[in-house]
Amino acid sequence: MSQDSTTRIIANLRAWIAAAPPGARLPSNRALVAEHGASPVTVQKAMRQLIAAGLVESRPGIGTFVRSLRAARPADYGWQTSALGTPQARVSMLSSTQRSVAPDAIGLHSGYPASDLLPERAVRAAITRAARSSAALSRSPVTGMPELQEWFAHELAAAAPAGITPPTARDVLIISGSQSGLSSIFRAVVGPGQPLVIESPTYWGAMLAAEQAGVTLVPVPSGAYGPDPDDVDRALERTGARAFYAQPTFANPTGGQWPIETSDAILQIVRRRGAFLIEDDWAHDLAIDADPRPIAARDDDGHVIYVRSLTKSVSPALRVASVIARGPARERILTDRAAESMYVSGLLQAAALDVVSQPAWRTHLRGLRQQLRGRRDLLLDSVREHAPAAHIDTTPAGGLNLWARLPDGTDPARVVREAEARGLIIAAGDEWFPAEPSGPFVRLNYSSDDPRRFPDAARILGEVLDHLGD
């Protein structure tokens, strides 16, 4: 009976509220008790439901009123135009490689390997052990965990030829992913308004970090075997630049690796010019047909600033990387990092160190090499069979990507849209160029989920190119 009374009171009050203006005062609870012949508890219950529905609002000590509803209108953020001013960088959106896609789509756009290529058990066990250690509750040194610094230094020193003084743990700065390291290097070593020589095409994130730092990009063409050293030399001389950012090992997006002759020539150039080589060794652990050859291992006078990340080979959840630099450059980068993030989570550092210190780590890398080779070859064969118009000039010796040139006159953005409509997600190559693209390209990630779908992906790409070519 009480529920029936509550429902009846609510229905009557809804009709009253609909006819009343906003802000009108409802009859008091005492008046409602008398009007409906109900108990005070029943009337209070009805009022609570009307308040919960947003129809009325209670003002303690005053009464209950019909709620004044604001008319829905589009948000106006125009005031921010003056407050923010002109953007510092022309890159204003996330890369297409960071897009989320539908579960049933074939995704070849990502910049990360699929989870089944990662040392999942080792990572989970390492995180559990780190959570039980003092790292879970203590602050890490600003330069990083000493044991992890030592590991990165030893990795580079192991590649150093005889006669070269290898880096020490003190030369190593632990950072939260290579992207943050590049930002600090560009701010601290290059500086706002200063020129930076950079390969073209190159990693889009490096361009974004440089532009956010106010650095002026000076592109030099680069391909499967790196840039022409003479082009680099001329760019440094012409612009007065004192830094060159490059990916000598399994470059993103081309997969190219510099021959030893190119590496040596460019090292001599930066020495002669009194410049820095910023070496991004992001794919150090992603070798397939060739081993990495860090240029930093052959430098002992501070001309090479070396960046190496574990994000791609250990886990994207453990954003741990290092910068190896010597002399005043190290101190400037350290100062910038301390201002930016104070220190890197000791928990993440401890877990990353645990993974790479286990005997199973080398076993994992050997298995990863085989798995990457199989996926690369399957996607390469599929594209050549089903999408021959997408020309892949060279087979990458490592990394994660195929770099495919489309027929001249093709609009890569349209290819991407048409492919997505058919269930294939790829990345247009334009965003890897610091200036005008040298041609129409797309990047295809062969380390993505479910390689069994690679032939289907290639068929879709071939259909799109055939359709657009008609």
- What are the extents of the domains in the chain? 2-66, 96-111+362-469, 136-358
* Confidence grade of residue 137 (pLDDT, cut at 50, 70, 90): confident
pLDDT at residue 245 greater than cutoff 50: yes
Q: Is domain 96-111+362-469 in CATH 3.30.1950.10, yes or no?
A: no
Architecture of domain 136-358: 3-Layer(aba) Sandwich (3.40)
**pLDDT exceeds 70 at position 87:** no
How many Å apart are CA 187 and CA 262, to the nearest integer?
Answer: 27
pLDDT tens digits, one per residue of 105-134: 899 988 889 999 999 999 999 999 999 998
pLDDT beyond 70 at 49: yes
Q: With bands split at pLDDT 50, 70 and 90, how would you rate the model's confidence at 298?
A: very high
* Dihedral sign (CA 115, 117, 120, 123): negative
pLDDT in tens, 12-24: 999 898 888 888 8
For the chain, give the number of residues: 470
pLDDT at 50 over 50: yes
As a whole number, mean pLDDT of residues 188-200 equals: 95
Q: Between 72 and 133, name the one with better pLDDT.
A: 133
What is the structure's pLDDT at 177?
Answer: 87
Q: Which two three-digit tokens encode residue 10?
A: 């609510």
Bond preceding residue 74 cis, omega within 30 of 0: no
**Tokens found for residue 267:** 């090292």
Q: How far apart are CA 288 and CA 376, in angstroms?
A: 9
Nearest to 391 by CA among 462, 468, 286: 462
| Amino acid 58: pLDDT | 86
Task: Return the pLDDT at 338.
Answer: 83
pLDDT > 90? residue 268: yes
CATH of 2-66, one of 3.40.50.2020, 1.20.1050.40, 1.10.10.60, 1.10.10.10: 1.10.10.10
Q: Which residue has the higher pLDDT, 53 or 308?
A: 308
Percent of the chain clearing pLDDT 90 (strictly above)? 69
* pLDDT grade for 99, boundaries at 50, 70 and 90: low
- Say what the pLDDT of residue 89 is: 53
**Residue 92 — very low, low, confident or very high, per pLDDT cuts 50/70/90?**
very low
Q: At what angle do helices 229-239 and 260-273 cross, to 10 degrees?
A: 20
- Confidence (pLDDT) at 1: 47
| pLDDT at residue 84, as a whole number | 67
